[in-house]
Structure 1
Amino acid sequence: MTITLAVANQKGGVAKTTSVASIGAALAELGQKVLLVDLDPQACLTFSLGIDPEDLELSVHQVLTKGVDVEAVILETEDGVDLLPATIDLARAEADLLTRTGREHAIKAALEGVVDYDWVLLDCPPSLGVLTVAALTAADGVLIPLQCETLSHRGVGQLLDTVHDVRRFTNKGLEVWGVLPTLYDGRTTHARMVLDTIAETYDLDVIEPPIPKTIKFAEAPAAGRSILATARSSKGAKAYREVAANLVARGKAGPPIR
């Protein structure tokens, strides 16, 4: 059974796209078949996996707004994952979808024919607009990357309010899988304090281990690969492998009892 996980945080700069690419590659290393879906008009995920968005004639935009078959758009990548790419055209999708009945279900409907994957990871845009709501409607769970700094906490409450609304109106089965601490510098007291308070502040699970801050993440997109390929033995790559293993275990165990 396919597990669809939305990776969402309306705040930029929290390593959301890096997490999608790295977790996807780590899941593929574990023998899982993975589809990554780029829902950000900036197309950072697409670019970071070695595909130039400007060279694409078809993207997720045509799937969502023109009815193009998703299978005709999915691309293979060198990281062992498949990708439903984005281009700048996706910036128009919000406006195109706003006038459509059932717009919240657009992504779910587009992915209904995708049955050959163990995991579908949705890289949400840094906003709480139509595309993020549609991603949450299509997802079994949501993972929230969160930079280990106090200011990064701002807005998480809004995201959780949106999750609550999605549960009420479009996807009552949506589960918050937890917070993924990113850009973590364990040498600082502040980072350790923020990490210690995340679970208590939001009553959320913390996905372990925290992802360390390292220049290796910045270097990976230039090579068009994830950090698991460009710096296989780095602390960052090892951390994402552990996160992927923990997500697989969580997926097998089912939702937590609360």
Structure 2
Amino acid sequence: MGKIIAITNQKGGVGKTTTAVNLAASLAAMQRRVLLVDLDPQGNATMGSGVDKGELTLTACDLLLGDHPIGEVMVAGLPGGYDLVPANADLTAAEVELRDVMHKERRLQRALMPIVANYDYLLIDSPPSLNMLTLNALVAAQSVLVPMQCEYYALEGLSSLVATIEGVRRSLNPALKLEGLVRTMYDPRNNLSNDVSSQLQEHFAEALYRTVIPRNIRLAEAPSFGLPVLLYDKTSKGALAYLALAGEMVRRESGLAEGLESGLENPAVAAPVIDMTQEDTAGVVFVKLKERAS
């Protein structure tokens, strides 16, 4: 049975879609069967996977509305080695049409059921907001992966996001866990990046992936070519970082203790999927960084 992971952050511009596309390609490169579900009306994961969102006839919108089964909507055999449920602006209409539908928050969960066993990982790229699409992702998922840019305001929203996960777990999906936090767009020359990274390590060590995703020009360029960075430049720091992240995720899943040999920061031991409550995040990092900035 495949593991369904929602890649979510209510703040935009944190590397969420970049993580979704490149983690999917990296897991596929490790011989894992991967489905990427684009649930963002912007369709950036679709375009970044080499699929023209303007040419689509069927999208995630048709899946959520129940007009077509997932086998008809899915684009299989992409160059990145994974399959894709594509998206475009039609998804914005899905929220309106689902407004009065019973169990509307479970539409994605039900749509994925027939094919979950066909994959090792099903990754959902959620919109950067809390809406019905994000709720569908959280209800369908077993765990939540949170990309976090190493900046001041990224930490401010962590407590709110954890509260959202708690609420979904209490009312709709008791099995939902926090998969972990991933530091993205990290620049070691930036003092604030180092401060944020250190505070995350100090206070959320169990939830924090040790792999760090750096700022990297190849990562920024790859989407314009419709390619994961692994296909665009497999020797780049961005490609190596996402391979390391995929390796760490697989090791967490399998419970192995040894890390991959790499020049990047990688795990030495496997880490569990975390139960984190809102109280765990309440202001600890935010206050300390505010003191440093003053």
Task: Specify the TM-score bucket, using the shorter chain as the normaliser.
Answer: over 0.9
Counterpart of 1:181 in structure 2 is: 183
CA-to-partner distance for each residue in 1:184-242, whole Å, 9 max, x for gaps?
A: 00122211110111244557511121100011112101111100111100111111101
In the TM superposition, 1:71-150 aligns within 5 A as 71-76=71-76, 77-114=78-115, 115-150=117-152
In the TM superposition, 1:212-223 aligns within 5 A as 212-223=214-225
Identity %: 38
**TM-score for the superposition, normalised by structure 1:** 0.96
Are the equivalent residues in 2 in contact too, given 1:8–1:143 (CA < 8 A)?
Answer: yes
SS state at 2:118 partner: coil
Q: Distance in 2 between matches of 1:256 and 1:17?
A: 22
Q: Distance in 1 between matches of 2:249 and 2:168?
A: 22
Q: Distance in 2 between matches of 1:97 and 1:194?
A: 39
Q: Distance in 1 between matches of 2:131 and 2:227?
A: 29
Amino acid at match of 1:8: T
Are the equivalent residues in 1 in contact too, given 2:7–2:145 (CA < 8 A)?
Answer: yes
Counterpart of 1:13 in structure 2 is: 13
Q: Which has the larger radius of gyration?
A: 2
Q: 1:89: Cα distance to partner? A: 0.3
In structure 2, relative to structure 1, the CA distance for the partners of 1:257 and 1:146 (3 Å cut) is closer
- Count how many residue pairs are aligned between Structure 1 and Structure 2: 258
Are the equivalent residues in 1 in contact too, given 2:206–2:272 (CA < 8 A)?
Answer: no
Q: Distance in 2 between matches of 1:256 and 1:56?
A: 36
Counterpart of 1:237 in structure 2 is: 239
Q: 1:255: Cα distance to partner? A: 4.6
Counterpart of 2:42 in structure 1 is: 42
Counterpart of 1:224 in structure 2 is: 226
Q: Distance in 2 between matches of 1:177 and 1:111?
A: 20
Indicate yes or no: 2:189 matched with 1:172: no
Give structure 1 stretches of 5+ with no counterpart. Answer: none
Higher relative contact order, structure no. (Cα contacts within 8 Å, ≥ 6 residues apart): 1
Counterpart of 2:266 in structure 1 is: none
CA-to-partner distance for each residue in 1:49-90, whole Å, 9 max, x for gaps?
A: 111111011001001013311011111211101000001100
CA-to-partner distance for each residue in 1:68-123, whole Å, 9 max, x for gaps?
A: 11011111211101000001100111222222111121110010011211100000
Q: Distance in 1 between matches of 2:134 and 2:113?
A: 18
Q: Distance in 1 between matches of 2:136 and 2:203?
A: 27
Are the equivalent residues in 1 in contact too, given 2:184–2:215 (CA < 8 A)?
Answer: yes
Structure 1, 74-83 or 36-45: larger mean CA deviation: 74-83
Counterpart of 1:192 in structure 2 is: 194
Q: Distance in 1 between matches of 2:51 and 2:273?
A: 37
Q: Distance in 1 between matches of 2:86 and 2:142?
A: 21
In structure 2, relative to structure 1, the CA distance for the partners of 1:216 and 1:93 (3 Å cut) is same
Amino acid at match of 2:147: P
Return structure 1 stretches of 4+ with deviation > 3 angstroms. Answer: 199-204, 253-258
In structure 2, relative to structure 1, the CA distance for the partners of 1:257 and 1:119 (3 Å cut) is closer
In structure 2, relative to structure 1, the CA distance for the partners of 1:204 and 1:164 (3 Å cut) is farther
Amino acid at match of 2:25: A
Q: 1:147: Cα distance to partner? A: 0.3
Are the equivalent residues in 2 in contact too, given 1:128–1:159 (CA < 8 A)?
Answer: no
SS state at 1:181 partner: strand
Q: Distance in 2 between matches of 1:199 and 1:97?
A: 41
SS state at 2:81 partner: coil
Amino acid at match of 1:93: A
Are the equivalent residues in 2 in contact too, given 1:136–1:142 (CA < 8 A)?
Answer: yes
Q: Distance in 2 between matches of 1:257 and 1:159?
A: 14
Amino acid at match of 2:243: R
In the TM superposition, 1:202-213 aligns within 5 A as 205-213=207-215
Q: Distance in 2 between matches of 1:127 and 1:107?
A: 17
- RMSD of aligned C-alpha atoms? 1.5
